[in-house]
Structure 1
C-alpha cells in the first residue's frame, strides 16, 4: 500500500512547478494522468542535454505518470477532459490566471461536473491581487520575493539561487495544499480550490530574515556563505577548496576553539558570546580564515567531526552521486526508459516506515497512454476513440518525436 493509492490526479501542468508536484503525488501512489497538448510539454524539447532523444529536463520530473494528448481547444477534447474530471480527485494546473476560464474548464465548471474535485492552481502571483495578469517565472519571483537581494557576496551584484527554488517550492506547497484538502474532504465531502504562487512561496520562506527586518527596520544584506545571526556559521576557504562549519551555540563555540587549538578565543571578551562575535564578525572571520587557508578541507572536516562539530564539504554533482550516504539513502535511482535506455534520476526524499513511496515507471512518451485511458478509464468504444482521433481532439503515441 502507498498513502495515495486510489487517488486519481489530472495533471494539466507543464514545465517544472506543477510536474514536480504531480511527480511526488505519483511517487506516493496517486494515479497521475498527464494531459499534454499535441506538441507536448515544452520541456520535452528543452536541451541539450538529451538522454537518447529524451530531454534530461523532462525526464527529471515526470516519472510514474501516464501521458495523454488532448487538444483542449476543441469542444470534443474539452468534453473528454471533463469526463476524466468526473472520475478524478485532484486537478493540477499552472497556467496564467484566467486561462482555465477561457478554455471553459475553470474551477466552477470542474465543480459542476464533480463537486468533490480539488483544483490546485500554481501561478506566479496567485489568483487575486493586482499582478495576476503578469507572467510568472522563477527568476522574477526570486527577485521580487527578496531572495536575490540577500544572495551573493557583500558589495557584489545580487545573485539568484542556483536552481529554480521558487518553482520547486511552490510545487511543494501545492502538495501540502492537496493533502490538506483531501483530509478536509473526508470531513466535509466537498472539494476546494487551492491557490499557491511563486511570489508567496519566496516571501513565506523569509522567516528570520523578515523577522530581523520587522525588529530592526533594516534591510537584510547578502552575507555570502555566512549567516546573518550566527558567527561562525559559514563557508571557509581551505588550501584546496571550501568547506562549511556551523557553530550554532556557545557549547559548540567552546568545542570549536579547543579543536582549533585556540582555546583563548573562547574566553576572549570580543568573542565570548554570539552577540560579541556578531559585533566583531569581520575581525574574527579574517583571523579564522588565515588559519583555515593553511591546510586542506579534508583535514579541517576530519578535525571538527572528531570534536562533534557540524561541518561538511562543498561537493560537486559528481561527488554527490558517488557519496556512500547519498547512495544508502537511495537518492540516486535508475530506470529503464523505452527510448532512452537506462535513465538516472534523484530518489524520493520522504521516507515512510509503513507506506513508503516507490518509483515504478519511467517518464512517459508523449501520448503513450491516450488509448489506454480512453478505453480503460472512460470505457469508450474503438469506434468512438477512432472518431476522436479523426477530429483531432486526442492523439495516440507517435513513433517519432513531435515536440521539437
Structure 2
C-alpha cells in the first residue's frame, strides 16, 4: 500500500560501480531522501557534500530518529521510543487518563509529513536559486514540536492540576458501551451540550443538572460529568447509540473497527481507498489514495507499488548502460 507511483532500482552502495550509478541518478534528481543512521551515507561517499559536487541544486533530506547531531543521535529507537522521549505520554488527554500507545505509527508519520513539506519548499527554492540544501529531519524533533505547547502550558500555567487543563473536557472523550465497543462524544461548543442534554434528559435526568449547562460549570465538575456520561453510554450498545444519534446535529460518532471503516459510505464516496489491478499479482489490491483532492488533472495513483528492483533494467538503460552491462552488474551483484 506504500510507494505507489514509484519505480524501484536495487543498488549495492558498497561497490564503486553502485556508488557511481547512484551519483548519476542524483545528478538528474531534484531531491535525495535517505533514512540511514547519521553519517552512514557520508561514510559511503554519498553524503550531502559528495552529491553537491555532481548536482549543486540537489535537495538532500536525511530522516533519522534523533537528527544528525546531539546526545541522542546514535541511540537506537523506534516509533514508541520517540513518543516516550518526546513527552507524548506525559501530557494528560482525558479526565481519567491512562497511558495507551497510539494505534498507528504516529511519530514516523509526523516526521514524514514534515519531511514532505520541507522537501516541497526546498525543491521550489532550489529551482529558483540553483542551490540545494541539506534537510535534517529528526523524528524526535517532530514529536517534540507537537507536544511542546502543552508541556510549556503545564510548566508555566497549569502545573499537574487536571482541573486547570483547558484541553481536558469531560464531554469530549471516548465512552465504553454495553457491548464493549466505544462511542465518541466530541462536545466543545455549548450549543452541542444543550442538544445532547435535551436528547438524553428524559431517560437520564441527571444530565439536566443546571450546574452543567455552561462550559465553566462542566469544567468545574469534570470528574462528575465524566462519570455521569460514562454511566449513560455503558447502558446501551454501540448500535443503539448509533441509531439514537443518527439524525442528530451533535458531534457524536461510533468508533469504527477496520471492517466498518473499509465499508463506510463516506470513505467510499471520497475514494480514499481504492481497488487497483496489480499486473504482477494478477488480482486487485487495495491502495490508499492521496487524501487531498486537486481540482486539476493530477492523477494521484498512476501505478501500484513496485516489487524490489522491478525497474532496475529500465532505469539503467535510461542512463545509457547496455544489456551487456546489466548482465555484468547482476553477476557482480551490483544490482
CA contact (8 A) 2:289 2:300 kept: no
1:352 to 2:291 alignment: no
Distance change >3 Å, CA 212–CA 275, structure 1 → 2: farther
- Aligned pair partner of 1:339 in 281, 284, 301: 281
- Aligned pair partner of 1:369 in 296, 311, 321: 311
Counterparts of 1:7-86 in structure 2, within 5 Å, are: 60-86=1-27
CA contact (8 A) 1:124 1:199 kept: yes
In the TM superposition, what whole-angstrom CA distance separates every residue of 1:19-50 from its partner, at most 9, and x where no partner exists?
A: xxxxxxxxxxxxxxxxxxxxxxxxxxxxxxxx
Q: CA deviation at 1:151?
A: 7.3
In the TM superposition, what whole-angstrom CA distance separates every residue of 1:56-96 from its partner, at most 9, and x where no partner exists?
A: xxxx2122211111100001110010011111111011100
Counterparts of 1:314-329 in structure 2, within 5 Å, are: 314-329=255-270
Partner residue, 2:145:
204
Q: CA deviation at 1:317?
A: 0.4
d(CA) in 2 for partners of 1:101, 1:216: 45
Distance change >3 Å, CA 336–CA 220, structure 1 → 2: farther
CA contact (8 A) 2:94 2:173 kept: no
CA contact (8 A) 2:207 2:228 kept: no
d(CA) in 2 for partners of 1:216, 1:172: 30
> What is the alpha-carbon root mean square deviation over aligned residues?
2.6
1:244 to 2:184 alignment: yes
Partner residue, 1:310:
251
**Counterpart of 2:184 in 1: which secondary structure?**
strand
Q: CA deviation at 1:207?
A: 5.8
Q: CA deviation at 1:157?
A: 6.5
1:229 to 2:171 alignment: no
Partner residue, 1:131:
72
In the TM superposition, what whole-angstrom CA distance separates every residue of 1:111-166 from its partner, at most 9, and x where no partner exists?
A: 11000101111100011212111223111101111223447988887332122111
Partner residue, 1:116:
57
Partner residue, 1:163:
104
d(CA) in 1 for partners of 2:316, 2:37: 28
Counterparts of 1:155-304 in structure 2, within 5 Å, are: 158-206=99-147, 209-216=150-157, 218-219=159-160, 228-240=167-179, 241-261=181-201, 265=207, 268-269=210-211, 271-304=212-245
**Counterpart of 1:206 in 2: which secondary structure?**
helix
In the TM superposition, what whole-angstrom CA distance separates every residue of 1:258-302 from its partner, at most 9, and x where no partner exists?
A: 122268856723x23323312211111222222223333344344
d(CA) in 1 for partners of 2:246, 2:82: 38
CA contact (8 A) 1:151 1:160 kept: no
Q: CA deviation at 1:103?
A: 0.7
CA contact (8 A) 2:171 2:229 kept: no
In the TM superposition, what whole-angstrom CA distance separates every residue of 1:347-384 from its partner, at most 9, and x where no partner exists?
A: 221111114342122221222111110112x1222333
Distance change >3 Å, CA 356–CA 218, structure 1 → 2: farther
Distance change >3 Å, CA 208–CA 253, structure 1 → 2: farther
d(CA) in 2 for partners of 1:197, 1:356: 30
Which shows bigger deviation, 291-300 or 352-361?
A: 291-300
Q: Give ranges in structure 2 of 5+ residues lacking alignment.
A: none
Distance change >3 Å, CA 247–CA 217, structure 1 → 2: closer
d(CA) in 1 for partners of 2:324, 2:90: 59
d(CA) in 1 for partners of 2:16, 2:92: 48
CA contact (8 A) 1:335 1:362 kept: yes
CA contact (8 A) 1:304 1:310 kept: no
d(CA) in 2 for partners of 1:294, 1:136: 43
Distance change >3 Å, CA 153–CA 249, structure 1 → 2: closer
d(CA) in 1 for partners of 2:254, 2:156: 34
**Counterpart of 1:354 in 2: which secondary structure?**
coil
CA contact (8 A) 1:148 1:158 kept: yes
In the TM superposition, what whole-angstrom CA distance separates every residue of 1:226-268 from its partner, at most 9, and x where no partner exists?
A: 9943230011223333110111122222222112226885672
Normalising by structure 1, report the TM-score. Answer: 0.74
